[in-house]
Amino acid sequence: MAHVLIAGCGDLGSGLATELIKQGHQVSGIRRTKLDFPHGVQGITGNLVEMSDDVLPDVDVVFLIMTPNGRNEHAYRAAYFDTAQVIIRRYQTMAKPPRVFFVSSTSVYGQSQGEWIDESTPAQPQSATANILLETESSLAAVFQSVAVRCSGIYGAGRFRLLEKVESEEGWGPNSWTNRIHRDDVVSALVTLTGHALEERSLPKQVIVTDQTPVSMWEVKLWLATCLGVKVAVSNIHDFTPNSGKRIQGQYLLSQGWKPRYPSYVSGYQALLREYKS
């Protein structure tokens, strides 16, 4: 049995905690607000940046799964880089430092001409927020055996933003490539990586988590519009071929036998559509 710290015990973190507890592990979880944690989790409520070292337990594995309060540089630095510095300060001097997993984003790949991306592709961030993610990855890797878990666009239960946008019949804008991963598949990927870490396997510095099915945004919206019975908000149907974005595939997890439960948006959005309509 291992002791795992999940710094950021929100939706993803709670799903991961539940699965690890089922496996018999001891789990401590941190969330900024609220006192409700999954059954069996040793909960810590408060701002991680303001916590003293003695609040954080000795652990074997750390997951940093933070959510910024906004989509700007200041919010990203506070949520990601600043919290990573607390993890570094607390755990770098342990006789056996924990394995650290930082849940990052494929936005660190700034390529946007339809390129194919995998773990061997150099990160080329093109925004201030993506630069902060890469800076956070690098700061952790300089101290720990850490893995940057780069997730494509996460969707799943309760995440209705795209559905609401399609139903509003707001214009779709230019077409582009998009890459997605269901929340439950992110959880299963993190559980798989936990097992590998506890077996003391050698792990890559970055792992991509995506459903392996890049698709054009218009195709996704067209399917959703059909399911919702709303107007196709496209002004020029001749622009269907994407002229921006990237196509992402992750090789490492597949090579280890991991398979997404939802290998495309069609399978993943079925339950979400039922939830939304109800």
Mind listing the pLDDT tens digit for each residue in 161-201? 999 999 999 999 889 999 999 999 999 999 999 999 999 99
Question: Do residues 147 and 203 touch, judged by C-beta distance below 8 A?
Answer: yes
CATH of the domain at 76: 3.40.50.720
pTM value is: 0.96
Using CA atoms, how far apart are residues 271 and 254, in angstroms rounded to an integer? 25
Tell me how crowded residue 138 is: count the other CB atoms within 10 A of its CB. Answer: 15
For residue range 115-162, what is the model confidence (pLDDT) as tens digits?
Answer: 999 999 999 999 999 999 999 999 999 999 999 999 999 999 999 999
Alpha carbons within 13 angstroms on the beta-carbon side of residue 57 total 19
* Any domain includes 227: no
Residue 99, in any domain of the structure: yes
Enumerate the β-bridge partners of residue 26.
3
Is residue 169 situated within a structural domain? no
Classify residue 164: in a domain, yes or no: no
Domain that holds residue 35: 3-157+182-210+243-261
The pLDDT assigned to 53 comes to 95
Note whether residue 78 is domain-resident: yes
Q: In the predicted model, is pLDDT for residue 237 greater than 80?
A: no
Count up the domains in the chain and report the number: 1
